[in-house]
Structure 1
Amino acid sequence: MGKFNRLGNELYTGHKSIDFVGKRAFWYAVSGAIVLVALLVVVLRGLNFGVEFTGGVQYQLNGLESSQVTQGTADDLREAVADTGIENAADPQVNTSGGAGMLIVVEELTEEESARVIEAIRSVVDVTDEQISPSEIGASWGQEVAQRAITGVVVFLVLVMLFIGFYFREWKMSIAALAALVHDIVITIGVYSLSGFPVTPAAVTGLLAILGFSLYDTVVVFDKVRENTAAMKQTRQTYAQAANLAVNQTLVRSINTGIVALIPIGAILYVSAVQLGASSLKDLALSQFVGMAAGVFSSVWVAPRILVHLKSNESEVVLAERRAKARAKAMADPYASVPVFTEAAPGSDVGVDYGDLEIGDEDEDPDHDDQGTPVSRGPARGSGAAAAYGKGRIAPQAKGPVRDSGAAGRQQPSRQPRSRRGKS
């Protein structure tokens, strides 16, 4: 635990960093592949809608002894009805109803299939015809629930965009948060389709609940992004660097929140699916478990990356990127900006034009022209201004008489008394 805390502190201070917004193409491909697989599962397998949406038959058992109204009896009834071999009764829902009743729900059945189900019930509990009350469940109620659920999701998403837009004053954050929510919904529906669990009103309720959890985590990350990017010029960071630091700073909080939320939901999922077999609980737990896990992933990997991508074309962000590249280049080669002097130093042969004289030609004299007149080449190397060459400075041209100076090691202008100045 101590190492984890130290890691969180190093991530928060920036001493260690995980690149969450880099490698844009690679992580877009990974997220896109996950969403595509989830969509393919939904298309190929479809969703197993419960009797609340498709209609079915409900058997109400009344007048049972309290010793019979137990979870063991419910499990025996579920197995007996499933063993009838009837396709629409292969996954019955069996629950207790008060202290003296049981409730069995299956899909739509014919009269013959209904009679076989009643015989299976009687093989487990001793009930009379008066104690069994079969009734049909219409699909109209389930359709109404589905329509209201869709309406609730649409209203929720609109309110989410308005809230983030007003809170952050940034419509691009709203788009990124909405994309993360869609990502979580698609993955949850895909896993639900793959599991074969029936879609019930409890599952729809769980789906609405995960939207709030995913939004909460994304808003926390975006709030830190806004704080870090408020003064990019002072921190000398690019928008991507500041956003990535924000994700690192909130990473430990996101992981801790996700673990705390997933542990109880996972426990409910295990107990309801493995031990109790209660569909209403396992449907709710599965949608919440998958949705919360996907919400943690999207708030860290998806939403910040989409936000940085949307902001990459803004002028302030582009200028910050250019400044960062210039600083990186200067740090890589600190001498790249030092000016290069191409003029010849006094007393050197650099830049001296010797005409047609070729190196190694001993017949020509570079100190005389063709008529034998001496050519002035400046002071000889090692005296005067040339002596200063290579010592860190170059002496200017003398404006008056000069003479050798033992202290300076080169020629220095001679100073005449005031009475002799201007006199020859």
Structure 2
Amino acid sequence: MPRLSGLRSVGHKLYTGELEYDFVGKKKRWYALSALILVLAVAGLLGRGLSQGIEFKGGAVFTVNKPGISVSQAHDAIGEFTGSHEPIVQKVGGDQVRIQIASKDTGNFNKIRDALSERLGVAPDKIDSELVGPSWGKEISNKALQGLLIFMVLVVIYLSIAFEWRMAMAALVALIHDIVITIGVYALVGFEVTPGTVIGLLTILGYSLYDTVVVFDTVKETTRGITKQNKITFSQAANRGLNQTLVRSINTSVVALLPVASLLFVGGGLLGAGMLKDIALSLFVGLAAGAFSSIFIATPMFADLKERTPEMRQLAKRVAQHRAAQAKAAARGEGDASAKPAASAAADADEDGNTDEEEGDGEPAAAGSSSRGTGSGGVRRQPSRNRSRNRPSGKRKH
């Protein structure tokens, strides 16, 4: 409970502005980190390339239903029919082994099935076989690409209408950032690209955009009427809005990642569910990249684009002038404070003097006047309001 209370306290301080982290001000650091991740992703994509499934290259799938068959046995049984293409052998559930042969030459399809039946000691009706042509995967790829382009165009139009075109450009860059990282991770880890991968890739676009729009909406509220004051710049106001939604963004991303992680590590890793693993990996990487880009890329980039406008440049100048004036005033205040002890000492010396005279007529104050004695026989100087009075000379009222 103390730890949860501490997290709630941090979230409250971020929302109220008591605690603030300068995400926008340190944008170069996040840009450099993002560039490094993108370089690794592109290097993996260009170097190793994507491992395409049989849905994209064509081939055959054999599912052997027999308890006790190991992956190595199935691999040895299919070895001579694969040629230069390495077969993919997976344990599916407890009693099934799935064998994929990615090859466009499927003329010996029946011969491979008969050989598996003989070598593994399985009846032919216990082997489920499926022949896949490459044209189907190509059609899926084209449809996915069309859907991606249409989605991005609609995103730009919507954000330009709801917010402004600079927000739309920042959100679009964040989306491309997430897609490239997800595809690069697939290339680096060597996961097979299947239609499930394409489905997961299209799904993460909505999650990434949702988080970005939530942050942008708060930034829009905190920067409304920003040019009517001269205390903070646009970037600082945008950073304040980002801090207010920071805890919400993190909580949303964690809640979304937990079930996806269970699909990836439990469903795909332990149960051997191939399609679930393909979808879960793209979702897991895409959601993590989307949470990163909405905080560290989209908002700093939008603030950077906005600061280039003439009105925001003028605002930055006014803020700088205001802060310089405050610094000078503070410096003068320190100087006045250091002079106060000397003035106080002079006033004390004046009160303790023995021969002070009234200013104006040069006469000493009468003993019976309202002046108080100092205890040493001297008289105190009359207040300034008495100096301008005209008293009759030589006459004193008794």
Alignment TM-score, normalising by the size of structure 1: 0.71
2:308 aligns to what SS in structure 1? coil
**Do the aligned residues in 2 keep the contact of 1:93 with 1:106 (CA within 8 Å)?**
no
2:325 is aligned, of 330, 355, 370, to 330
1:316 is aligned, of 311, 314, 318, to 311
**Do the aligned residues in 2 keep the contact of 1:78 with 1:93 (CA within 8 Å)?**
no
Structure 1 residues 335, 133: closer, same or farther in 2, change over 3 A? closer
**Do the aligned residues in 2 keep the contact of 1:403 with 1:413 (CA within 8 Å)?**
no
CA offsets, 1:27-81, max 9 Å, x none? 22221121122111100110011100110023467xx7xxx5x7x7696876565
Amino acid at match of 2:19: K
**Do the aligned residues in 1 keep the contact of 2:171 with 2:209 (CA within 8 Å)?**
yes
Task: Determine whether 1:47 maps to 2:50.
Answer: yes
1:136 aligns to what SS in structure 2? strand
Which structure is higher in RCO with an 8 Å CA cutoff and minimum separation 6? 2
Task: Determine whether 1:126 maps to 2:119.
Answer: no
Partner of residue 205, structure 2: 211
Structure 1 residues 13, 134: closer, same or farther in 2, change over 3 A? closer
Partner of residue 166, structure 1: 161
Partner of residue 236, structure 1: 231
Shift of 1:19: 1.0
1:21 aligns to what SS in structure 2? coil
Whole-angstrom CA distance in 2 between matches of 1:124 and 1:137: 23
Whole-angstrom CA distance in 2 between matches of 1:145 and 1:268: 24
Whole-angstrom CA distance in 2 between matches of 1:415 and 1:82: 127
**Do the aligned residues in 1 keep the contact of 2:223 with 2:237 (CA within 8 Å)?**
yes
How do residues 357-372 of structure 1 correspond to structure 2 at under 5 angstroms? none
**Do the aligned residues in 1 keep the contact of 2:77 with 2:115 (CA within 8 Å)?**
no
**Do the aligned residues in 1 keep the contact of 2:207 with 2:287 (CA within 8 Å)?**
yes
Whole-angstrom CA distance in 2 between matches of 1:336 and 1:80: 84
CA offsets, 1:1-49, max 9 Å, x none? 1100000000111111111111333322221121122111100110011
Partner of residue 14, structure 1: 17
Whole-angstrom CA distance in 2 between matches of 1:118 and 1:332: 88
Task: Determine whether 1:254 maps to 2:254.
Answer: no
**Do the aligned residues in 2 keep the contact of 1:51 with 1:139 (CA within 8 Å)?**
yes
**Do the aligned residues in 2 keep the contact of 1:239 with 1:317 (CA within 8 Å)?**
yes
2:87 is aligned, of 66, 85, 90, to 90
Whole-angstrom CA distance in 2 between matches of 1:409 and 1:259: 75
Whole-angstrom CA distance in 2 between matches of 1:204 and 1:84: 32
Shift of 1:320: 2.4
Shift of 1:276: 2.2
Amino acid at match of 2:11: G
1:334 aligns to what SS in structure 2? helix
Q: Which runs of 5+ in 1 are unaligned?
A: 339-390, 392-401, 418-424
CA offsets, 1:135-157, max 9 Å, x none? 53211111011000000000000
Shift of 1:281: 1.0
2:88 aligns to what SS in structure 1? coil
**Do the aligned residues in 2 keep the contact of 1:52 with 1:137 (CA within 8 Å)?**
yes
Partner of residue 202, structure 1: 196
**Do the aligned residues in 1 keep the contact of 2:77 with 2:116 (CA within 8 Å)?**
yes
Q: Which runs of 5+ in 2 are unaligned?
A: 334-349, 351-359, 365-380, 393-398
User: Which deviates more, 323-332 or 107-116?
Assistant: 107-116
Partner of residue 4, structure 1: 7
**Do the aligned residues in 2 keep the contact of 1:42 with 1:193 (CA within 8 Å)?**
yes
Partner of residue 225, structure 1: 219
Q: Larger Rg: 1 or 2?
A: 1
Partner of residue 27, structure 1: 30
CA offsets, 1:305-364, max 9 Å, x none? 1001100122332232223222322333315689xxxxxxxxxxxxxxxxxxxxxxxxxx
CA offsets, 1:135-185, max 9 Å, x none? 5321111101100000000000001111111111x1000000000001101
1:57 aligns to what SS in structure 2? strand
**Do the aligned residues in 2 keep the contact of 1:81 with 1:121 (CA within 8 Å)?**
no
Shift of 1:278: 2.3
Alignment TM-score, normalising by the size of structure 2: 0.76
- Taking only aligned residues, the RMSD between alpha carbons, in angstroms, comes to 3.5
Whole-angstrom CA distance in 1 between matches of 2:101 and 2:313: 61
**Do the aligned residues in 1 keep the contact of 2:89 with 2:97 (CA within 8 Å)?**
no
Whole-angstrom CA distance in 2 between matches of 1:102 and 1:335: 78
How do residues 21-420 of structure 1 correspond to structure 2 at under 5 angstroms? 21-59=24-62, 68=66, 86=82, 88-92=85-89, 104-108=99-103, 115=111, 118-124=114-120, 126-128=122-124, 134=129, 136-168=131-163, 170-232=164-226, 233=228, 236-334=231-329, 404=362, 407=381
Structure 1 residues 135, 12: closer, same or farther in 2, change over 3 A? closer
Aligned residues: 346
Relative to total residues, which structure has the larger helix share, 1 or 2?
2
**Do the aligned residues in 1 keep the contact of 2:233 with 2:315 (CA within 8 Å)?**
yes
Amino acid at match of 1:55: G
Amino acid at match of 1:217: D
User: Which deviates more, 274-283 or 191-200?
Assistant: 274-283
